[in-house]
A and B are shown apart, each in its own frame.
Chain A
Amino acid sequence: MKAKIYVTHKKGILDPQGKTVETALISLGYNKASNVHIGKYIELDLQEKDKERAEKLVKEMCEKLLSNPIIEQYRFEVSS
């Protein structure tokens, strides 16, 4: 199984990177852009054939290490 994990700032948590990039985009003339948020993308291979078990493992990884629940949220996709 392969997992694709996306970690982003929780809503309401200041995202200074997103804000800075947003300002840069607007200064380049992309006035239509707003709410820019920057997060992390993590890919990994899992030696696990069962999808449900794979999802359970990834969830555990996200909660233990890959994200900090105080400031971040995560979502992931698991596929073979």
Chain B
Amino acid sequence: MKFGVIVFPGSNCDHDCFYAIKKILKQPVSYIWHTTTKLDKFDCIIIPGGFSYGDYLRCGAIARFAKIMDALKEFTADKNKLVIGICNGFQILCEAGLLPGALQRNKNMRFICKHVNLKVENNRTSFSKKYKKGQVLRIPIAHGEGNYTCDKETLAELKKNKQIVFTYYKNNPNGSVANIAGICNKQRNVLGMMPHPERASEAILGSEDGFLLFKSIETALKIKH
């Protein structure tokens, strides 16, 4: 089982993700520079948070055309391989069309950095199987553009296919449709979420609720391989 963390110019949560996998989950992991075109040796790829390419034009709009993205698209075609985009990673996945919808400016125009409560809407994915359905998690967010939006048809599809994995519980910080905090693709092997599970993976950080997400991935990959 091998994890990879993509590094774009401007990624800044790459080390946190690397640390969470290596030191807490205790699984092999390496950084992947954005010019890489071969991803065969990986089983799970993390697109970390940050401000890839300075968030110029739109968040994720430039990263979407990085060399690695074609390889990533191929990677996701194999349903046994998993991709998780966190924060800027979620924005990149949406821009790249690997997830539906788009992330726009928070409703209150502010950059919000705080712990929020998330509800597990679907625990039957490789990313959430260690949680209970309806479980409430405390995980931090840190974004200015996390307001998930999509048209009515897409929202109906997301609901029908149970692609909404996490929602904001009680308080929606950014104005996202249907309180969406994280969604997966139809094939259930690509997850995008605004909250940062890697920042809530050990007690010293105030919450361990994010750790079960990585534990879910580990369990899922063990079954698949």
Contact = CB atoms under 8 A, between A and B. Distances in A.
B110 to A, nearest CB: 10
Interface in B102-123: 102, 104-109
Interface string B165-176: 000000000010
Contacts of A68: 58, 61, 95, 102
B33 interface: no
B109 A66 contact: no
Contacts, number: 36
A69 to B, nearest CB: 9
Contacts of B149: 13-14, 70-71
Range for the number of chain A residues in contact with chain B: 10 to 19
B57 interface: yes
Contact of A17 (B57, B109, B150, B175): B109
A71 B109 contact: no
Contact of A65 (B61, B108, B150): B61
A43 B65 CA distance: 21
B9 to A, nearest CB: 17
A16 B65 CA distance: 27
Overall SS of chain B's interface = loop
B107 A70 contact: no
Given A70-B149, A71-B102, A65 B109 contact: no
B135 to A, nearest CB: 30
Interface string A1-27: 000000000000110110010000000
A13 B149 CA distance: 8
B150 A70 contact: yes
B146 to A, nearest CB: 12
Contacts of A66: 57
Contacts of B147: 14, 16
B143 to A, nearest CB: 14
Contacts of B58: 68
Contacts of B175: 14, 16
Interface of B: 57-58, 61, 65, 94-95, 101-102, 104-109, 147, 149-151, 175
